[in-house]
Amino acid sequence: MKELDNNNKSFEDIKHVDENGAEFWYARELQKVLNYKEWRKFENVISKAKESCKNSNISVIDHFVGADKMVQIGSGAKRKQKDYKLTRYACYLIAQNGDSRKKVIALAQTYFAVQTRKQEISEKEYTSLTEDEKRFYQRDLTRKGNYSLNQAAKNAGVKNFDKFHNSGYKGLYNGETADDIAKRKGLRYREDILDNMGSDELIANLFRISQTEQKLRKDNIKGENEANSTHYEVGKKVRKAIADIGGTMPEDLPTPQKSLKQLEKKTKKTLKQK
């Protein structure tokens, strides 16, 4: 979603990801995007959001984390500036308690409602989800998994991440690279292959991702070639495990008619029309 404020920033632009792959937003940055000129007024909104969180019997400190920092105020002097690291749910509550006359607040309510809904999927009984909901859930896990995998690969000495990830795909997909998979699926240039997988195919890739990360860390793998080889071997073993239990090979699984990006746009459009 690319709704912009005067600073040409969107909610997605100011999103951060910590070392554990968790998303968060800084309150000071969100303040600017929501067009609140004074911190004092925005902090009042934060206080109301905290109260809403508390009234819902949800831990406030889990969603509004203090992130005070020292800032320069001139002549080398510094002072402490109050700030928060906010979860997606905290941002949603802030949007709900913001000035409803501001157009950007309505946009924030829509954006964070969609994002919070996607997070809530993981808390429901998995078997009760629709196939598209399962895809959103598994895609979120693969996104976080790839972030952790990239950190482990970086520590192992990987610099060419395209080659590293292709090594894993080659092992799992019987020699196919990411480009090969995209072409077979009939995707447009630079369209994300993971956004165009069904839940079963995403699960196979998530297993490859998590097992490779564990092996890189546990075996203290060092060197780019060794890391690439490890990713390939793990992918190959995941493929063998699928074959041993009589499962469908990932390349033989159907490609969904709509990508997750298309489904997300449709959801946002529906929310806007309500």
**Tens digits of per-residue pLDDT, 113-144?**
666 665 655 555 666 778 988 898 889 889 98
Instruction: Calculate mean pLDDT across residues 81-97.
Output: 90
pLDDT confidence tier of residue 220, bands split at 50, 70 and 90: very high
207: in domain: yes
Q: Which residue in 190, 5, 259 sits closest to 111, CA to CA? A: 5
Do 159 and 71 share a structural domain? no
pLDDT at 8: 39
Structural domain includes residue 209: yes
Do 116 and 29 share a structural domain? yes
Give residue 6's pLDDT.
37
Are 81 and 32 in the same domain?
Answer: yes
| CA distance linking residue 6 with residue 120, whole number of Å | 32
Residue 11 forms part of a structural domain: no
Query: Does pTM surpass 0.85?
Result: no
Where a domain ends, among 76, 103, 123? 123
Give pLDDT, residue 121.
Answer: 56
Same domain, 157 and 106: no
pLDDT tens, residue by residue, 224-245 = 999 999 999 999 999 999 998 8
The pLDDT of residue 183 is above 90: yes
Q: Residues 43-72: pLDDT tens digits?
A: 999 999 999 888 877 889 989 999 988 877
109 occurs within a structural domain: yes
Residues 119 and 142 in one domain: no
Q: Find the range with the poorest average confidence among 13-22, 153-162, 164-173.
A: 13-22
Q: Is the dihedral of CA 122, 125, 127, 128 positive or negative?
A: negative
pLDDT score of 70:
82
Q: Are 181 and 219 in contact (CB under 8 A)?
A: no
- 119 and 177 in a single domain? The answer is no
Which pLDDT belongs to residue 43? 95
State the average pLDDT over residues 210-219. Answer: 90
pLDDT digits (tens, 9 = 90+) for 192-202: 999 999 999 99
Q: What is the extent of the structural domain holding 134?
A: 126-267
**The total number of structural domains that make up the chain:** 2
